[in-house]
Homo-oligomer: A and B are copies of this chain.
Amino acid sequence: MPQPLQGCRVVDFTHVLSGPIATNFLRLLGAEVIKIESAAGDTMRNYGGIQYADGMGPSFASVNSGKKSIVLDLKRAADVAVARELIAGADVVTENFRPGVMDRLGLGYEACKALNPRIVFCSISGYGQRGEVRHQPAIDQIIQSTSGMMSLSGEPGTPPIRIGYPAVDTYSGLLAAFAIVSALLQRGRDGQAQQVDVAMYDAALVLMISMAGPHLLTGKRPAKQGNRGYSMSPTADTFPTASGHLTLGAVRQDQFERLCRVIEREDLIADPRFQDRGTRVAHGEALQHEVSQALAGRGAAEWAGLLNAAGVPAGEVRELPEALAQPHLDDRQLLLSIPAGAQTLRVLNAGFRYEHDGPGLDAPPPALGQHTAEILAGLGRTPEQIAAFLHREDAQAES
């Protein structure tokens, strides 16, 4: 049986991060993704200090495995014509240029729809495809700032804190993939083209729906609450231990009581200050002081084991390398091993499992232009035409 997107062809004009993440999901579900690159290649190819091969910076290699690369100079009419031929035979076009660029290239939604009345055309931008705001430059950390995201993390009263990875790019990429697959499902019924317009700013607000939603309904301003959980329970927080930090998620009464037993402080259960959720919040500082003292007796991983066994949600604070090395991941199909010449590359899968024909791939990221000849041949170009295309003397100079 086929993967969900087997036979689906994506003509992918995206670069850097959000767009390549979107098409990485499509590729992991079986789509053919044809990456259109300039002669300089996706900026991310040469990004980051350590590369495993030329043009294979780790940020690039992480999200471009199994795609095909064709080099086109979209300032040349002949190359735009190749792009148009590809689009005519494709299911999906993706792009994350600044709004207006694809139109100026003759490759905008209306042009693509004229070429292919069933095309799903997805744009990702900072603020969307319309209005004056669309011209504002936007990168992840700018959107983290303007969307309110930097104002939510950290202790009350502290300056803005950026989420330490490009959460907006990453979420926008998945949201685009979701919107594209939904549009393909819709197209299966109505046979119509569809334009998908993903704005990173909008995506950021939806990523914060747990804060934005209640604000829209109540008008109440969300407040920074440090490491305290959504519940605001003092025993749903992060504590230092003898070794490393430990996060507790003891919210319900039974969880609180079990926590007290495991840390050998059953006296806290009977303490009137801590008798129910309301009083525990009111005496949060005192309770956290008692819990911290008790937790100083063991390390975080040991506490996590004891507490989880007793039914108290708890987890040690890990660093990312240790999180990726957890043995239970062996059974999750989350880490793919891809042969790449003499090496084996490890990349992340889509993050979910299917019973059958689920996400995965076994082809490495493409070298720049690795599939140019193959793709041109697929369009019916003769070997002579392909050779001439590949060896244009000024190909580099003009791009």
Contacts and interface: CB of A to CB of B under 8 A. Distances in A.
Interface in A328-370: 328-329, 331-332, 334-335, 345-357
Contacts of A355: 109, 193-195
B130 A331 contact: yes
Question: What interface size band does chain A fall in?
Answer: 35 or more
Contacts of A161: 153-154, 161, 227
Interface string A300-317: 000010001001111111
Given A52-B217, A145-B316, A227 B160 contact: yes
Chain A at the B interface: SS class: mixed
Contact of A313 (B133, B142, B160, B311): B142
Given A25-B178, A52-B217, A308-B137, A208 B1 contact: no
A218 B142 contact: no
Interface in A162-210: 162-167, 169-171, 174-179, 181-186, 188-190, 192-199, 202-203, 205-210
Interface stretch (A55-63, A261-269, A383-391): A55-63
Interface in A134-169: 136-148, 150-154, 159-167, 169
Given A174-B174, A197-B352, A142 B314 contact: yes
> What is the total number of copies of this protein in its complex?
2
A72 interface: no
A238 interface: yes
Contacts of A142: 247, 249, 313-315
Contacts of A283: none
A50 interface: yes
A323 interface: yes
A5 interface: yes
Given A174-B175, A181-B185, A324 B215 contact: yes
* Closest CB pairs A-B (n = 4): A62-B213, A148-B320, A152-B164, A206-B351
Interface of A: 1-5, 17, 21, 25, 29, 48, 50, 52, 58-59, 61-63, 109, 127-128, 130-133, 136-148, 150-154, 159-167, 169-171, 174-179, 181-186, 188-190, 192-199, 202-203, 205-218, 220-222, 224-227, 229-230, 236, 238, 240, 245-247, 249, 251, 304, 308, 311-324, 328-329, 331-332, 334-335, 345-357
